[in-house]
Chains A and B, each alone.
Chain A
Amino acid sequence: MALHDFWFIALAALFVGFFVLEGFDFGIGMLMKTFGRVAKGDREQHQRAALNTIGPVWDGNEVWLITAGGAMFAAFPGMYATLFSGLYLPLLLILVSMILRICAIEWRGKIDDPRWRGWADLGISIGSWVPAVLWGVVFAALVRGLPVNADKQIHLSVTDVFNPYTLLGGLATAGLFAFHGAVFARLKTEGAVRDDATRFAARLAVPVTAAVAAFGVWTQLAHGNDWTWLILGIAVVSQLSAVMLVLSKGGDGWAFACTAWTVAAVVILLFAVVYPNLVPSTLNPDWSLTVQNASSTPYTLKIMSWAALIFAPLVIAYQAWTYWVFRQRISADRIPAPIGLSRRPT
């Protein structure tokens, strides 16, 4: 296997890490208002319980995206340059919403005031919904192909980004992340919050499965090859297993493992159908960016491979340890009183 093939896999792995981990962070953020709305008892306590399930880990999860971006820059500068400049507006929207989300999560508890929290919750909602939809749209647009011209430039039209296929992609990722988040909340909470999470997951199960299956099958039929059926198969089986576990009130951990597999399989499917292209051109197949023509030199790829082989296992080890440290379930009635300051000095 050539190094650029290895780096294609590594890039896919980084995005798998990002979507599996940040996927449930997005899901929690998307459902946070819902936890408050249906709660019996103190709404705020339910919302805080939901938010604190991702509290210690969401920031580390987001680094998977930053590293994926850096790895794309280092390993496939041609892809990074063409794609990031071509998808200017969708990426701008993703950036703005992620900025809102980071500040909203970090600052929400700093002031103990309902109006303050209302604004923070709005930031968390926007910051979770918009990327959850747009990442699906962007990846679907990439799979479908973009108008890359002979100069490796993309002059995007609206229909390149928004068309039935990409919108279905956005629906599929948003649905999948919401489901994944609900299943994660079910694993990480006790009592009323867990009951709510189970209910959300059950309600989402069928429509989400339909959307993901439709998107997966469309992807496979339009762009797949023989062996990508296998990946699609894994995605469908793990999604159906997750649904059955949720509906039968079965093992929380197993259900989460299944949704994690589904997310991973969907991302792998998207990368697999694109390979050996990186950005397929809709204008002329010869103008497509590929793992060969858009990659860095073997020397750079070798250096990067060493860095990845040394640091990636370390990262996985200490992130796994973090999840182990915070393995206990959270319950709404055991949450201490808010520790934020009042809006004005008393």
Chain B
Amino acid sequence: MDPLDVSRWQFGITTVYHFIFVPLTIGLAPLIAVMQTVWVITDNPAWYRLTRFFGKLFLINFALGVATGIVQEFQFGMNWSEYSRFVGDVFGAPLAMEGLAAFFFESTFLGLWIFGWTRLPRLVHLACIWVVAIAVNMSAFFIIAANSWMQHPVGARFNPETGRAELTSIVALFTNNTATAAFSHAVTGAFLTAGTFVAGVCAWWLVRARDSEEARTMYQPATILGCLVALAAAAGLGLTGDAQGKLMFQQQPMKMASAESLCHTETDPDFSVLTIGTHNNCDSVTHLIQVPYVLPFLAEGKFDGVTLQGVKDLQEQYQTKFGPGDYRPNLFVTYWAFRAMIGLLAIPGLFAVVALWLTRRGRIPDQRWFAWFALLVLPTPFLANSAGWVFTEMGRQPWVVVPNPTGDQMIRLTVDHGVSGHSAGLVLTSLITFTALYAGLAVIWFWLLRRYVVEGPLEHDSEPAPPKPPGDDEIAPLSFAY
């Protein structure tokens, strides 16, 4: 067994796992802030109950996002030490800033929000959840700026004396067009996740409690809010994804050629919808269903006259440029992850349209299939997020830092040069440990979320306690969360 493979599996498993929880955190925090804002402005207790209800689900989820996030930061050094040595001068800065400018805000103000319900004046307490909402999105920006530098290194030069990449412009790193495109795409995906989550949970409750007062005052408006967010996000994902794709065709042509199973350089190739292959290489694939005009548009926004490079030609070019080696990513994974990402996006979009139609002009739906649809749609944005990351990270292989076609060609690193010099057994130990631990925690996470969703908004959350700043001599009742 190759320690490189084990390390890659570990990074893949822990990262995809981490990013199950993160999009829900990023998207749900602003939605909860909106709910609480509506409550503070209108004094309508339904929005208070929604805030508390989704607040609990948020916290159950948040714990696992934080816990698995620490592993992410540590394993660059633990498993990818040569990568860390090579890029640390550039890559460390956004990571440190993420802690200073985002995580501190997020964690501290979340603590204030959880425990401060009766301690803080209403508006200050509301401000706390907004700080959390902004900070979680800031953290996404910092980490995606770091990741985008791996996809498209800018603002750095190679120093032959130290043998590493060195930062020359932090502004270039933060304004990297790859970063702005990837950030908007990932955050829009987070809003799709959270919008679908709110809509799905509330739509299920809407059918379940259709004859109750809550159906009209709580679940119906929340379903509509979630659907609108999900629809806007679905549209936004198309736009941001398109922008990101066009950059990728220029910056990482191999990734896109692989995603299209495009063997040879062609002018105006068709977009492949279904392809089968026997050997996971572009020679053995048969394109079964193809659509013309789509691919040239995806690449350059035109319908014809676009030449796209194929896997084989790129492979030859790279060999002349970077020496012998296999520069092709895994064809099967990139091809299908790309299609899974796009295909899965349609399901929450469809659900939002159906739900908005069924709730039009104050209607309360009672169809059982709709309640089932609401539940079944919940996992789809999570899977789409994972598929998107699997696509973009597997498509970057074998590079860990992809050479920028218009940048310093010496800033490039393949995964086999980035990995730590551990034995396979050592890394296998940690891989098994993390996988087993994460699997156990995922079961608990799912069970807890399910339990709280099925229970619905709780009795003791129906009336807000009056905020009362306690006197110094008083042993005040905290709003106990534990």
Contacts and interface: CB of A to CB of B under 8 A. Distances in A.
A322 B98 contact: no
Contacts of A48: 480, 482
B139 to A, nearest CB: 10
A219 interface: no
A70 B85 contact: no
B115 interface: yes
A163 interface: no
A173 B368 CA distance: 59
Given A67-B104, A297-B89, A335-B480, A73 B437 contact: no
Contacts of A13: none
B100 A95 contact: no
B441 interface: yes
The residue among B100, B101, B114, B478 with the most chain A CB atoms within 10 A of its own CB is B100
A55 B97 CA distance: 25
Contact of B79 (A85, A99, A303): A85
A249 interface: no
Contacts of A328: 470, 474-476, 478
A77 B84 contact: yes
Given A55-B480, A77-B89, A88-B422, A99 B448 contact: no
Interface in A275-301: 296-297, 299-300
Contacts of B429: 89, 92
B120 to A, nearest CB: 7
A98 B434 CA distance: 12
B480 A336 contact: yes
Interface in B101-139: 101, 103-105, 107-112, 114-116, 119-120
B66 A59 contact: yes
Interface residues of A, number: 76
A89 B427 CA distance: 10
B67 interface: yes
B239 interface: no
Contacts of B110: 59
Contacts of B475: 190, 328-331, 334
A130 to B, nearest CB: 13
B129 to A, nearest CB: 14
A57 B112 CA distance: 8
B85 A322 contact: no
Interface residues of B, number: 83
A300 B482 contact: no
B158 interface: no
A103 B482 contact: no
A290 to B, nearest CB: 14
Given A60-B111, A334-B477, A341 B100 contact: no
B167 interface: yes
B78 to A, nearest CB: 5
Nearest to B71: A95
A312 B437 contact: no
Interface stretch (B56-64, B175-183, B295-303): B56-64
Interface in A296-339: 296-297, 299-300, 303-304, 307-308, 311-312, 315, 318-319, 322, 325-326, 328-331, 334-336, 339
Contacts of A83: 77
- Which of the listed residues B99, B114, B482 has the most CB atoms from chain A within 10 Å of its own CB? B482
A216 B422 CA distance: 34
B213 interface: no
Contacts of A325: 112, 116, 119-120
Contacts of A52: 478, 480-482
A46 interface: no
A94 B105 CA distance: 24
B369 interface: no
A80 B88 contact: yes
Q: Which of A55, A56, A107, A334 has the most CB of B within 10 A?
A: A56
B84 A73 contact: yes
B455 interface: yes
Contact of A107 (B68, B444, B454, B470): B444
A78 interface: yes
Nearest to B89: A296
Given A95-B70, A109-B482, A73 B96 contact: yes
B74 A326 contact: no
B380 interface: no
A81 interface: yes
B168 interface: yes
Interface string B429-441: 1100110010001
Contact of A106 (B63, B69, B101): B63
Interface string A87-102: 0110110011011101
A152 B421 CA distance: 11
Given A67-B100, A67-B104, A341 B455 contact: yes
Contacts of A84: 74, 76-78, 81, 84
Contacts of A91: 74, 78
Nearest to B164: A77
Contacts of B114: 55-56
Contacts of A65: 70
A197 B466 CA distance: 32
29 contacts: A51-B482, A52-B480, A56-B111, A56-B478, A57-B108, A59-B111, A69-B99, A71-B96, A72-B92, A73-B73, A73-B95, A73-B96, A74-B92, A74-B96, A77-B88, A84-B76, A85-B422, A88-B422, A91-B74, A99-B70, A103-B64, A103-B67, A107-B60, A108-B482, A304-B93, A315-B108, A330-B475, A334-B477, A339-B458
The 8 closest A-B pairs by CB, nearest first: A77-B88, A84-B77, A74-B92, A67-B99, A106-B63, A73-B92, A70-B96, A85-B81
